[in-house]
Chain A
Amino acid sequence: MASKLLHRVRAVSARLKYSRTLSPTLAAFASSRLLSDVAPSASTSPAPQSSGSSDKFEHNAKSSSVRSSLKDPELAKFSAIADTWKDPSSARPFEGMKIVDVGCGGGILSEPLARMGASVTGVDAVDKNIKIARIHADLDPVTSTIEYCCTTAEKLVEEQRKFDAVISLEVIEHVADPAEFCQSLSALTIPEGALVISTINRSMRAYATAIVAAEYLLHWLPKGTHQWLSFLTPEELVLILQRSSICVKEMAGFVYNPLTGRWSLSDDVSVNFIAFGTKNSQ
């Protein structure tokens, strides 16, 4: 199953190759997958089929049985913009979606998401990052709508915030308790909403590349940025997420081609990898 899904992911990545910033790869990934799953699922199918085809999305949108937790105005709002979601050539495919970027840093992911039409909330525990992110985002009217908060996922849960999609890239390897962190992320996600986490695998290859090469040889990162023991394997991440009511649908790896200097999505999860899951509907 994994390779079949990953083939589709690779079809997307084959079209889009990017520089080292992670946000574009994620956005490419997200735009192909998020759209089909963050549908106001009016159907009662418990777990959306793993086929992930766009037809499934259409089925969801048109299905007539309405569950009690959904309101008609919400449905109407989503179906009105549903056409833009299906359209791969729309410049603002995330119009109307609320996305939170947990661990946003300087806004490197939040800004492209906002340019693609999403209502973005960026949170980071470090106040300096938030300040820098705000200054940079204010330079462009499109990105100045991003809401930046210096806070943690747990505090957002306490405020009972909910989002259509929760994205947390390269954060979970730095938190003290990954299981609790995933619980918080899950609590921020609406039922059937999307959760995307990326991190580094706890493998020998990751030690050699992400720590030795990246920190000590190439100096891409400051020494001591990562602790190998805090890395998670894909299996562990899936388990933790399952315990937080998240069903992982797809997984992919990031690989760097030193000849072209470009990153791309691939089947190889041995170093950097990204997981996409949906929150179980209650």
Chain B
Amino acid sequence: MVGMSLACSLASMPLTKHLNVAIIDSNPALVNGIRINKQDPPDPRVSTITPATTSMFRDIGAWQYLQPYRHAYFDQMQVWDYTGLGYTRYHARDVDKDSLGCVVENKVLQSSLLLCIQNADFQKRIFPSRLVSMSLNPGLKSKQMDGISSEISRADLAKLHLSDGTCLYAKLVVGADGSKSQVRELAGFKTTGWNYSQNAVICTVEHASENQCAWQRFLPAGPIALLPMGDNFSNIVWTMNPKEALDRKSMTEIDFVKTVNHALDHGFGPHPTSSLLGKGNIFSWFGAGVPTSGNGGFEIPPKVVKLASERMVFPLSLRHANDYVSKHVALIGDAAHTVHPLAGQGVNLGFGDAFALSRVIGEAIAVGMDIGEASLLKKYEAERKPANIAMMAILDGFQKAYSVDFGPLNILRAAGFHAANYISPLKRSIISYASGEQRLPLFT
């Protein structure tokens, strides 16, 4: 998805429209097209798109292809934990916006990007195979007689070998091939990171009526998130330790629905009350005069009626490439960074990378620079790396803060909930940052 969004972005800018783009992806859907029926049951794989990403999609002309299909904007979000000591309720009107984000099935995103690129007046070729090897520094060959001059004119390009035997030359190779990126391996980029001892169980469920709020409850083993998808459906992302994940995947549907309702409702701890020890009143003093949704009470999430898709399990890890770029190569999306799904930020960081890279390429072409040059690509890295690392650090911090059940720490977390709920400048800052409007937390 992220790679395709880069291609669409390049196609939409007049400075970069003339570039030749080769898309290498062994997914047959790219060649055959992705057929989606509106009556299809919802896929379990969804992404939460921030408003910033939505406007970027609109800029490149891809959003129009998405609108006919199922997607859901949500304007409210509630976050709480099992201790029942605090909760936070966010509303889009706290930042004068219409929505906090939009939940879209991945296949809808892929299809709309594919349609966008197919309908663009853009020279692209899709190669349905895999990258096998890549050579980035062919080296300067000594000048020889005319017959060999064609070899020399390719000496400054990257050479790629594909699994079907094709050989490609390119000025710039963009690795958008996911967390196990082959491009990253072949280019020799080192990564830092660790595996979380958690897996995520993903599925889609159905309610009796429409859900319009995003819910997240931190449980002792990991958070469970309930995201509205439209048409009475919601997506569940439930993080837990691997053994429980296997259990939950293999238990019957009815049992699974019971455990989900248990986890969202009374399981593991009490509900937070709207005002605890008068704390709410103290904090509302800070936000005096400014309308917030802090006074909206705690609500219980809607009951899940039945399971609407298969259950999938994914291992979770944190991984970050030490460098995003070198001569002729750039990494974007999960190839550069993998994060915990607890805030729905992963793919949004990836889209941010794609649009930043395409802008940097456009600026280079405006002044005649070679797009494969390392100094240019470093500009992209300098723009995205701090933002990505900041987000990753915050998410990792949350993950660690919530994985410990320790009295004083629980109270600290609860204080955090209250602060985020009642101190409106902080709340606005959090919402802005999570919506992608602010690049770095706190200092913008």
Contacts and interface: CB of A to CB of B under 8 A. Distances in A.
B367 A18 contact: yes
B231 to A, nearest CB: 41
Contact of A113 (B18, B156, B363, B368): B368
Interface in B137-179: 140, 143, 149, 152-153, 155-156
Contact of A112 (B13, B140, B368): B368
B369 interface: yes
Given A28-B366, A91-B14, A115-B370, 15 more contacts: A16-B363, A18-B367, A24-B369, A27-B367, A31-B367, A87-B14, A89-B15, A91-B15, A116-B368, A135-B143, A138-B149, A139-B140, A139-B152, A139-B153, A144-B153
A173 interface: no
Contact of A138 (B13, B16, B152, B366): B152
Nearest to B19: A91
5 contacts: A16-B367, A87-B14, A91-B15, A112-B369, A135-B140
A34 B346 CA distance: 45
Contacts of A141: 153
A63 interface: no
B366 A16 contact: yes
B365 interface: yes
Contacts of B14: 87, 89-91
A114 interface: yes
A140 interface: yes
Given A19-B375, A139-B153, A139-B155, A115 B369 contact: yes
A44 B38 CA distance: 67
Interface residues of B, number: 20
Contact of B153 (A27, A89, A112, A138): A138
A144 B150 CA distance: 12
A91 B363 CA distance: 10
- Which has the most chain B C-beta neighbours within 10 Å: A16, A19, A87? A19
Contacts of A138: 143, 149, 152-153
Interface in A16-32: 16, 18-19, 23-24, 27-28, 31
A101 interface: no
Secondary structure class of chain B's binding surface, majority of residues: loop
Given A91-B18, A135-B143, A28 B367 contact: yes
A111 interface: yes
A140 B154 CA distance: 7
Contacts, number: 59
Contacts of A27: 367-368
Interface of B: 13-16, 18, 140, 143, 149, 152-153, 155-156, 363, 365-370, 375
A116 B375 CA distance: 19
Contacts of A135: 140, 143
Interface in A89-145: 89-91, 111-116, 135, 138-141, 144
A42 B366 CA distance: 29
Contacts of B370: 111, 115, 140
A112 B156 contact: no
B170 to A, nearest CB: 13
A7 to B, nearest CB: 21
Nearest to A19: B375
Contacts of B140: 135, 139
A66 to B, nearest CB: 33
Nearest to B17: A91
A108 B423 CA distance: 55
Contacts of A87: 14
B406 to A, nearest CB: 43
A206 B143 CA distance: 41
A16 B369 CA distance: 13
10 closest A-B pairs by CB: A112-B368, A139-B156, A115-B368, A89-B14, A116-B368, A24-B367, A27-B367, A19-B375, A91-B365, A89-B15
Contacts of A23: 367-368
- Which has the most chain A C-beta neighbours within 10 Å: B363, B366, B367, B370? B367
B202 to A, nearest CB: 42
A138 B155 CA distance: 9
Nearest to A30: B367
A16 B365 CA distance: 12
Given A91-B15, A135-B140, A135-B143, A140 B153 contact: yes
